[in-house]
Amino acid sequence: MAYGHKTEYRLRVRAQVVLHAARGRSNARIARESGLHLDTVRRWLSNDALKPWQYRSWIFITDPDFRPKAERVLDLYARTWQGTPLGEDEYVISADEKTSIQARCRCHPTLAAGQARAMRVNPTYGRGGALAYLAAYDIHAAKVFGRTEPTTGIDPFMNLVAQVMTREPYASAKRRSGSWTTDPPTAGKGLPTGWPRRSRTR
């Protein structure tokens, strides 16, 4: 196949578009500076084989004790603790928290869909301030226990622990031990003696 001057110029322009994208420029800026249509820039980048502008976030391990900590967590996920299988009345709970959730309530009720009418949602809402959401997850039963609190810390975390450990089947477990894994590390401080301790790996 013979390539003319226009084809070579087109390939150079296309390579420049890929280079600009790899340097973090937006599609709109590339189109504006190169004189191309925005759809052309999007199509070229979508069809490019390398896509050097794409990346994945990666956290490098900085904890020297990461391996033994991770092994404990993975063993619990596999229902094993210190080489011994967990009993039927032993449970693994994972907990986490989300801060600064904007609490909003709609000012008008949503109307259900009807015959020849789509559901109607009014976009107006009232602000309820910022709340923290804490959740505990039973790894093997796939159960989630959640609650909202005005803030995070030891007391809100203990409220979550009590919410889980005072209900069945956890309240009547023969051995109330295991692992509560939380992040950040301040959340799990203050657990009573004999209650599960949290660990953090990164």
Q: What is the 3-state secondary structure (H, E, C) of 131-174?
A: EEEEEEEECCCCEEEEEEECCCCHHHHHHHHHHHHCCCCCCCCC
Domain co-membership, 146 together with 181: yes
Note whether 75 and 155 are same-domain residues.
Answer: yes
Backbone angles phi, psi at 90, to 5 degrees: -115, 140
Do 12 and 99 fall into the same domain?
Answer: no
- pLDDT, residue 58, reads 86
Is residue 195 situated within a structural domain? no
The parts of the chain modelled with pLDDT lower than 70 are: 1-6, 174-202
Residue 91 shares a structural domain with residue 142: yes
Q: pLDDT at position 50, please? A: 81
Start-end of H helices in the chain? 5-22, 27-34, 38-47, 66-77, 154-165
Residues 159 and 91 placed together within one structural domain of the fold: yes
Residues 100 and 152 in one domain: yes
Task: Answer whether residue 198 is part of any domain.
Answer: no
Residue 135 and residue 39 share a domain: no
pLDDT of 123 reads 87
Provide CB contacts within 8 A for 97, sequence distance 6+: 132, 133, 134, 135, 152, 156, 157, 182, 187
193 and 91 in contact (C-beta within 8 Å)? Answer: no
* Residue ranges making up the domain that contains 34: 5-47
pLDDT value of position 179? 54
Are residues 30 and 85 located together in one domain of the fold? no
Any domain includes 13: yes
Main-chain dihedrals φ then ψ at residue 22, nearest 5 degrees:
-65, -25
Task: Work out how many domains the chain is built from and give that number.
Answer: 2
